[in-house]
Structure 1
């Protein structure tokens, strides 16, 4: 007996909107692990002052003692998982002094430009920052435009833009890290 195809309703698709795909989730874990690498480069005092969970501080201090490549890789994966529970804005605020105010202003202009120009600006940004994922950038821009068209509150729109700026800052940090190596 042949199975009748399941019919999907509009509600089924609405529930999926805004959720990250598995690929996006994996990329986010990789970005968090790379941010963990940068956090591990901070001094012991700076790490201890981070306003994060004690387990994360211990993991960051432990990684400084590990010499085996494979053990360090696994530890950074663990750090990436622990970072998912933390506030991205706070973590980036500790890493952004490396970038400086001029760089942050430049990234803010990139965000505004990508929102206004969409694909041309996204392509140019991806050329400038090798760690950028054009698909993820497009998703952020689409979410912001959707919020604007649905007349979302100023707070919701600011939240979407902050998430976009956080992603752009992560990409810039990771791209700069890749150039330094």
Structure 2
């Protein structure tokens, strides 16, 4: 929902539209953010137990899986996670590290094929101080990029646009996943 800031003395009359996203408050407050696997709150541990559509799982491997990000930076933003609940990349086995790398390459190929992505931001934020939103479970971000994708909207309009529903993006990627 978009509405202008009120001009009745409440707030600054900056004439910017506001897109209210109250669903993000759970994320901002850190609700359900696990410290370890014992709490049962880790989303990356829960997601594999859901069916692919409900969990937004794009691809499952033997040791890791690819899942869409609920709070994407760009359309098609996904994460590759080992099934095992570990926090640090150095804790991966050789086989886990290889499958995370392989699923990342497959994700990039698939995103290029279905969306014409011109580039990618790929990486892991290791630890809370390094920006990890869920530091307790290792996950690698794969963010597709296009020329002009971060145009004036976030800078001037202070708004991000996502042109496709997550369920539609998941179906598109899962159906076209390159093995």
TM tier, smaller: under 0.3
Bigger Cα Rg? 1
Larger helix fraction of residues: 1
